[in-house]
Amino acid sequence: MAATSSYNNATKILTVDGDGLPNPVTYGTFPNANNPNNVTEQDFEHSWYYRGGTFGISRTFDDANFTQNGFVISIPLSVADNGLLGSSIQVGDRILFVLDAGTANEKKQVFKYTGTQQTVASGEFWRATSTNLELIVDYSRETYSGSYEYFDQRNARAAVPLGAIGIASNGVVFFNPSAGAGGNPPTGFNWNAHFEDAVVEFGDDSCGGHPEVTGQYHYHDTDFLQCWKDNSVMAGYNDYYGASQYDGDNLRHPDGHSKMVGIAFDGFPVYGPYVYSNPWDNNSDIGLASSSYRVKSEETAGRPTYGTTQQNPPAGALIQDWEYQEGLGMLDYHNGRFAVTPEFPNGTYAYFLSTELDSEQNLIPKFPYLIGFTTREVLQKPDNDGAATPPPPPSGGGEAPPATILIGAQPQSATVAANTSVTFTVTASISPEDGPKTYQWYRSTDGGYSFAVITGSTANALTFTALAYMSGYKYRCVITGPVGATPATNSPLTTDVATLTVTGGGGGQTAEDFSSTNVSLDTTGISFDAT
């Protein structure tokens, strides 16, 4: 067995079970000269919210109507709406607007927010006044009015964490490009684990995978594609891969578009590198999903000079060498895009493996490979990355009992008036002997399906001003400790969830789930069933 899955259409919860071994694709020899870890069978079981066939969380401002004259769409803003701009929606954000959804006049277009800077460029929008936004569209209509919904990035401000960020359809987890603290990188920096001209090797096998200390085998980049394609091994995996192909490639649909190769832990599908050149036209030419990341022209402050050695690593060898450049490629900051796909002809948000062709027409990985510096929605990571935890060393007689974090008071739900202060508090101690602890608060804007880090909120109390659109937001705290000692047996410990209810003041801002009606996880559609 490699991986099996089940999907609850009512709750949209996907559950995947697997042993972590890349069947039918084999893995290399471990330990090896550059990787001391064994590959071990895992007991992976994880459930998370599936968002395939959606664009994320559907939103409107307080007034969901618009007017259009020529190439300009105007959207009215309330006082509460203005609080979103510059905070939840920031300059440079890419927002999908769907105009007249479900009608014959439906239009979809992605726009970049320019703040208060006036623009005339198609695909940009700006706050023209305190009472209206203006969107510059690529088509003209005179004296037209309608309704809209939009899909923003507010749930995805947290950096992609180390460890598992998704799972491939053969049961192997995806990691982000960083090697973390591995390989002794320069202080304050991290190695790009699969950099083509790396001066530090992490013992990858020919499929681009390797195990970590838990024995969990994983992929960092796109090299596994060739292993999946060789000898058509995935054709016999299930009907999804075996029933169709393009020019002998079972990882592509008959029209040339890539098939799904996995699912990220924020619920969006991960596709291979071949896409429609026009994201909304499934009859357009097929092209490669090109990354919009590039190596910085100048070294990041504190970094050794670009060179060819471990002491002066080449440009691109460190994660911090890379930056996003709007419009450089077809993929966005998250290494994904809004588009139609063969599985989702009405559109979806999805990640794509970023690659390019070398001089011999071979696919080569391009940073960030799988997912960019942030995810579209918050990752619902499994505990310990879904890996089997190595057993603790045996304890001898006379040793102190293991430390345990105890919560004295949980955060409590609160109801407050709009534009007033609210505080959530947790009290905790460590038994048998108290010690230093850390706190990190998290917020959910989607009803508790996923939680994002609240940057800078690292005290036992969280205080902020409650705005009208925050009603229904949920909060929890993660406690870690003791700091500087052997961690408590239940560290990190997550508190109960507290819900914020806000009364008064323009409550039109909602966070409805945009439900998919086109989800299939059996062998006639999308399948993670190894049998």
Residue tagged 């195990």 (tokens): 211
pLDDT digits (tens, 9 = 90+) for 387-443: 986 555 444 444 556 788 888 889 999 999 999 999 999 999 888 777 888 999 999
E strands in 341-450: 348-352, 355-357, 363-365, 404-409, 414-417, 420-425, 427-431, 438-444
Q: In terms of DSSP bridges, do strands 209-211 and 217-219 run parallel, antiparallel, or are they unpaired?
A: antiparallel
| Per-residue pLDDT, 512 | 34
DSSP string, 426-463: -EEEEESS----EEEEEEESSTTS--EE-TT--SSEEE
Single-letter amino acid code for the residue at 284: S
Q: For residue 443, with 0-12 CB atoms within 10 Å meaning exposed, 13-18 middle and 19 or more buried, which class applies?
A: buried
pTM: 0.75
| Per-residue pLDDT, 507 | 36
CB 263 within 8 A of CB 13: no
pLDDT digits (tens, 9 = 90+) for 135-194: 999 999 999 999 999 998 777 777 898 899 999 999 999 999 998 888 889 888 999 998
What are the 10-residue block averages of pLDDT along the chain, 531 residues in total? 84 94 90 90 93 92 96 95 88 93 94 94 95 95 96 79 93 93 88 87 92 92 92 89 94 97 96 97 96 96 93 94 93 95 96 91 93 91 84 50 82 93 92 85 86 88 92 92 80 90 62 32 40 36
